[in-house]
Structure formats: C-alpha cells, structure tokens
Amino acid sequence: MAEERIYFYPVFIRLWHLINAILCLILMITGISMQFSNPKYPLIRFDIAVSIHNIVGILLSLDYFLFIIGNLISGNGRYYKFPLRGLFTNLKLQLTYYTKGVFQKEKAPFLINKERKFNPLQQFTYLLVMYYVIPVIIITGIAMMYPEIFIPATLLGISALHLTDLIHIFSGFVISLFMFIHIYFCTIGKTPISSFKSIVNGYHEVHE
Amino acid sequence: MAKFSRFRIAWVTLLLFAFSFGFFLLVAATNTTPVDTSVNAEKGQENSTFSKHKNSAENEKCLQCHGQSKYSYFNKESKRKIIKKMYAELIMNRSVFYESNHREFKCIDCHSEEYLGFPHAGNLRMESQPNCLDCHGEDEKYAKYHFENIEKEFQSSVHSEKHSDDFTCWMCHNAHTYLITARTSENIKQTISYDNAICMNCHSDFSKYQLLTNRQTPNLIKKHDWLPNQKLHFQAVRCIECHTKKINDSTLVGHNILPKKEAVKRCEECHSTNSVLMASLYRYKIKEIRSTQGFFQGILVNDSSVIGANRNFFLNIVSVIIASIVIIGLFIHALFRVIKK
Ligand code: HEM
C-alpha cells in the first residue's frame, strides 16, 4: 500500500489549487454575466459583476504568484518541463490511449512515478495554461483595469482596448474549456474520484 | 538530455514572454496623440496662410487686433503708435475660425460695422446678438438639422429652465469655432472629445460657470466617481448620452439636458445588446462599417467596443459551437467508459 501512494501534491499546491479553482469559477460566472449582460435577465447586476470580477482577478494574480514561487522553491516546477523532441509522438500516444486504449483496458503508455507526475498530454496542457494563457489573461486584465496607463488609443487603426479585450476574452474562453476537460480527465484514474482525493490529501494512488 | 531539454523549455517560455512584451511595446510605440480640440485661441498665426478665404482681407481689419496676443493703434493725442496686450478672451484663432461652420462669414455680418472704428464706441456693448433661428429657422436648406425641434428640446432643458435668456445657444456653440462633428466625423473618439469639451468648457471653468449662477461648480470628477474608470468613460462616451433622453428620432444630437436625478446611472443602459449608444453615438458608424468595410473588418476594426454591447454575432456562434463540441465529446467519452466497463 505504502508503495502505491506517492506524495505528489504538497500543501502549497493544494492551497493554490483550491483557491485557483474557486476564483476561476467566480471569474467565469461574472465574466459571462458581463459579456452577456441584459437588463431584463441580469445574471448579476453589471456594476456588481465588474467589482467582483476586478477584485477576484487581483486575488487570482496573487494566487498565481504563490504557484510560480512555490514551484521555483519546492522543485514542483520540474514536472512541467519536458523534452520537445518526441513531443508529438508522445502526445499522439497519450491521445490514442484516451480514445481507444482506455476502453480496452490497455495499460497507460506513460507510467506515473516520482519522476513523472503528469502524462505528456497533462504536461503540455498544464504548461500551456499555467505558463502562457494565465499570464496573458492576468496582463491583459490588469491593463484593462488601468487603460489610461497601459493602453494607447489605437493600434494600427484598431482600438487597442478592443484588441486587449478580445485577447482577454479569448484567453478566458480557453481557460473555461480547459477547466471542463481538466475536471473530466481527472475522473480517469484508479477510481473516478481518486484524483480528487489526491488533490485534497496530497497522495496519488498509482494504478496500472 | 534532460538538462538540454529543460533549456529548450526555458527558451520557448522566454520567447513567448518576449513576444507578449514586444507586443505591448509595439502597442505603446504606436500610441497616437489625441486630436487637439481645444477651442481656445492661444497664439495668432501668419495671416498669409488664410488669404485664400474670400473674406480674409476684410476680416483682417478685425483680426489684426483680435487675431493674436497683442494689438496696436495710433494715439492721435501723443502722435505715437501704442502696443498693448489683447485680452485673452477676445483673441480668436484664425485657423479654427476658417474651418468652422460659419467660415464664409465676414465679422461684420454678425457684428456691427461700427466695430471697424477704434476705440469701439460704447453703445456697441448694447448691440443685440443674432439668434441661430434668425438665420436657420424655417429654411429648407437646413431642414435635416431640425432646428425647430432642437430649439424646443433646448427650451425644456435644465439650462434654459433655470437661466432662461442668459443661457443661449452660443454658450455651447461658440460663434467662431463651432463645427458640426457628430454628423460628419469618421472618428468616434474625436466626436466624443469635441462634444464633451463643449460641456467641460463651462463646467470645469469657474469663471464661466459663475456668469450664470452663484453656485459653486460641482466637482464633476467626484460627482461621477461611481463610474469605474471614470476618466476612460468620459473619453469613451458623451456627457449627453447620460444627460439627455431621446425625444424625437429626427434630431441627431439630444438637447434636452435633464435634471441630474434623471440622468442615466444604470450600467446596462449601455452595457447590453440594446445599448442606448447604438441609437445615438454609433448610429452612423455601425451602418458605415457594415457597408464599407465588410464582414471580417467589422469584427476587428471597431472603435465601439463596449462590454456586453458589441458582442460579435459571428464570434458568439463560433464559441458556442466549439464549447458544445467539447462538452458533447466529453459526454460521449464518458458514455463509452461506462458501457465498456
Ligand atoms: C481553471 C482552473 C484550474 C486550473 C488552471 C487547474 C490547474 C491544475 C494544475 C496545473 C494541476 C497540477 C498541479 C500540480 O500538481 O502541480 C491540477 C491538478 C488537479 N486539478 Fe486542477 N485546475 C483548475 C480547476 C480545477 C477544478 C475546478 C477541479 C475539480 C473540481 C480540479 C481538479 C484537479 C485535480 C483532481 C488535480 C489532480 C490531478 C492532476 O494532477 O492532474 N482542477 N490542476
């Protein structure tokens, strides 16, 4: 038993992740409410949605710092690094496993152990979301909070605020999709809820 | 191997950040300075540039004194040429005047010919000013402006109800600078700053405001601090969007400034698909974009970005389709997992 459990999720990751998940949900709901604001059927009153979205956005930025600094100090960051060589082959292997293998009770192509916490697909999407999309959404969000400082009137004839807004909304869309896929794929484990147990108690239960 | 690839990852991440940073630098570099719409004449210019205007020779008789910061006259008593400083409020800017609506006029079309003499005769102070409707009322040529409707709206505005005759059309439409902008300008930001300058010209100028009332000028920044990014809002939306209500569709610019209690305070009036801005500020712009710039241009090249209001139909559809595909995909996957168990 002891051998099958690996301590993968240190306290700071669990704390970061819990805060992150809650804040992301709030940002999603207030963001959608603003984007689809309608006086007749207000999901949340516009000015309240704006205030919540702004405050929660700042909290998320702070939380992101916890993630970055924690990963630097604890060495958890090493799980996010992978060789570029063979990336496509690895991704394809993992994808074929998810589309065919899982149903035929095949073994997962990449063993999870102390050296490899994530499979290539996880690694790739986590890296993309955590080190690219989240920074972009934070930067554009803060820029739109202080447009008079950061955003010029026009960029190549296009309203720069509009452009920043488009990038922000697009990133939000990507993160929302990621969240759906992410939660679903977390149900693929030893049992459908074992991953969720892991992110609560810190221990990953090895399967196959 | 592991070390080498770690470097690569670092490189890629660094590059991505460099690109984002570069993008923002680019944004900053292309920063365009806003159009200067200041209505004040600061310095006089050489009159030669304006000689092509048919009345310029005639007008120079006045502008030799009223066109710059100093003027001179011949003192018959002392037989000397006297040079004096011109009162700042009486200085006119030639280039702005010759671009204004009334550029074709001679000064003495609106002012008494007696002003040609100096010192100006004392009784000239009693001269009555012409009224917009004296010239524009009941005129076919100006029918599209609906001067009569505007006059009616103006009469019901807080300004004229509280100050009746002291408050004239000239207070907002400077006799020497007024140029139709909302109707003709292609640039919405320019229209906004032009129109807002009209209000701020008085509401942020203590001495002008006090000509009409003994009340203190309310601090407009403080009075509007319930607006997030108040500064941005004042640059992105006109005062009259919140302070007038559209009575008739024929007039392009609302003139019935409402009592402050009736001003728009609900964000959704603008931040929703049936935004009031679509009926006023963006009315011309929207048509123009759709007709002249085509479909995809309309998505990107759009000055009128308002959260909640300019949801792009095309992008909406695409995002809903993508989200649906993903969610349905996940459901099918889950289904197969249950069946194959
Ligand atoms: C958009 C918001 C979210 C982001 C950006 C995100 C990101 C991540 C990341 C980067 C990890 C790996 C952490 C590490 O060990 O270094 C992780 C793990 C995990 N997350 Fe999330 N997460 C989000 C929302 C959620 C939500 C809402 C749930 C559950 C309801 C969830 C459940 C899990 C679980 C069970 C794990 C552990 C399994 C694994 O390591 O893959 N996540 N998440």
User: Which is it for strands B70-75 and B80-85: parallel, antiparallel or unpaired?
Assistant: antiparallel
Closest-CA distance, A84 to chain B, in angstroms, reads 7
* Pairwise CB contact (< 8 Å): B20 & A139: yes
Alpha-carbon span A110 to B206, nearest angstrom? 75
Token pair for B290: 């759709």
Please give the distance, rounded to the nearest whole angstrom, from the Cα atom of residue A117 to the centre of ligand 1. 13
Whether residue B333 is predicted with pLDDT greater than 50 in this model: the reply is yes
Alpha-carbon span B46 to A198, nearest angstrom? 80
Alpha-carbon span A34 to A57, nearest angstrom? 14
Closest-CA distance, A161 to chain B, in angstroms, reads 8
- Local confidence band at A68 (pLDDT 50, 70, 90 cut-offs): very high
Alpha-carbon span B52 to B150, nearest angstrom? 34
Looking at the DSSP assignment, which residues form a beta bridge with residue B75?
B80
pLDDT of residue B282: 67
DSSP state, residue B53:
S
Q: Give the residue-averaged pLDDT of A66-90.
A: 87
Q: Are the C-beta atoms of A120 and A110 separated by less than 8 Å?
A: yes
Atom 10 of ligand 1 has which residue's CA nearest to it? Answer: A126
Of A88, A94, A89, A81, whose CA–CA distance to A121 is shortest? A94
Atom 11 of ligand 1 has which residue's CA nearest to it? Answer: A126
Alpha-carbon span A163 to A153, nearest angstrom? 11
Of B3, B323, B39, whose CA–CA distance to B181 is shortest? B39
Whether residue B14 is predicted with pLDDT greater than 80 in this model: the reply is no
pLDDT of residue B177: 93
Q: Are the C-beta atoms of B239 and B230 separated by less than 8 Å?
A: no
Alpha-carbon span B28 to A168, nearest angstrom? 18
Looking at the DSSP assignment, which residues form a beta bridge with residue B79?
none
Q: What is the pLDDT of residues B39-48, one digit of tens each?
A: 333 334 445 5
Token pair for B277: 């801005």
pLDDT of residue B205: 84
- Local confidence band at B49 (pLDDT 50, 70, 90 cut-offs): low
Whether residue B2 is predicted with pLDDT greater than 50 in this model: the reply is no
Q: What is the predicted ipTM?
A: 0.83
Q: Are the C-beta atoms of B195 and B181 separated by less than 8 Å?
A: yes
Alpha-carbon span B114 to B117, nearest angstrom? 6
Question: Is residue B17 within 8 angstroms of chain A, CB to CB?
Answer: yes
DSSP state, residue A109:
S
In three-state form (DSSP H/G/I as H, E/B as E, the rest C), the secondary structure along B225-238 is CCCCCHHHHHHHCC
Whether residue A164 is predicted with pLDDT greater than 50 in this model: the reply is yes
Residue appearing with tokens 């929660």: A56
Whether residue B3 is predicted with pLDDT greater than 50 in this model: the reply is no
pLDDT of residue B4: 47
Q: What is the pLDDT of residues A118-136, one digit of tens each?
A: 888 999 999 999 999 999 9
Burial class (CB within 10 angstroms; exposed 0-12, middle 13-18, buried 19+) of A81:
middle
- Local confidence band at B66 (pLDDT 50, 70, 90 cut-offs): very high
- Local confidence band at B62 (pLDDT 50, 70, 90 cut-offs): very high
Residues of B in contact with A156 (CB under 8 A): 30
pLDDT of residue B309: 57
- Local confidence band at B198 (pLDDT 50, 70, 90 cut-offs): very high
pLDDT of residue A58: 94
Q: Which residue has the higher pLDDT, A56 or B230?
A: A56
CB atoms within 10 A of CB A42: 16
Q: What is the mean pLDDT of chain A?
A: 86
Atom of ligand 1 nearest to the CA of A134: 5
Kindly list the protein residues whose Cβ atom lies closer than 6 A to any atom of ligand 1: A 9, 13, 17, 20-21, 24, 76, 122, 126, 129-130, 175, 179, 182-183, 186, 195-196, 198-199
pLDDT of residue A178: 96
Q: Where are the beta strands (DSSP E) in chain B?
A: 70-75, 80-85
Whether residue B325 is predicted with pLDDT greater than 50 in this model: the reply is yes
Alpha-carbon span A141 to A61, nearest angstrom? 10
Looking at the DSSP assignment, which residues form a beta bridge with residue A2?
none
| Cβ contacts of B250 within 8 Å, gap of 6 or more | B146, B149
Alpha-carbon span B27 to A156, nearest angstrom? 9
What fold, for A5-205?
A: Fumarate Reductase Cytochrome B subunit (1.20.950)
Q: What is the pLDDT of residues B213-224, one digit of tens each?
A: 877 778 888 899
Alpha-carbon span A205 to A194, nearest angstrom? 7
Element (H, E) at A6: strand A5-7
Q: What is the pLDDT of residues A42-52, one digit of tens each?
A: 778 888 888 99
Instruction: Mutation target for A interface from B233, B311, B333: give the one with most A CBs within 10 A.
Output: B333
- Local confidence band at A166 (pLDDT 50, 70, 90 cut-offs): confident
Task: Find residues 293-332 of chain B whose CB sits inside 8 Å of chain A.
Answer: 300-303, 305, 307-308, 311, 319, 322-323, 326-327, 330
Q: Give the residue-averaged pLDDT of B201-215.
A: 84
Q: What is the mean pLDDT of chain B?
A: 78
Q: Give the residue-averaged pLDDT of B255-282.
A: 80
Predicted TM-score (pTM) of the model is 0.79
Whether residue A16 is predicted with pLDDT greater than 90 in this model: the reply is yes
Alpha-carbon span B324 to B328, nearest angstrom? 6
Q: What is the pLDDT of residues A176-191, one digit of tens each?
A: 999 999 999 999 888 8
* C-alpha distances out from residue B257 to B153, B159, B162, B222, B243, Å: 8, 7, 12, 20, 5
Would you kindly state where each structural domain of chain A is located, as residue ranges?
Answer: 5-205
Q: Give the residue-averaged pLDDT of B203-214.
A: 83
Lowest mean pLDDT segment, chosen from A148-157, B104-113, B203-212, B293-302: B293-302
pLDDT of residue B323: 93
* Pairwise CB contact (< 8 Å): A180 & B330: yes
pLDDT of residue A69: 92
Amino acid at site B143:
A
Of A139, A41, A195, A47, whose CA–CA distance to B23 is shortest? A139
Percent helix / strand / coil, chain B, rounded to 5: 55, 5, 40
Rounded percentage of chain B residues whose pLDDT exceeds 90:
24
Instruction: Mutation target for A interface from B30, B289, B293: give the one with most A CBs within 10 A.
Output: B30
Q: Are the C-beta atoms of A151 and A160 separated by less than 8 Å?
A: yes
pLDDT of residue B7: 54
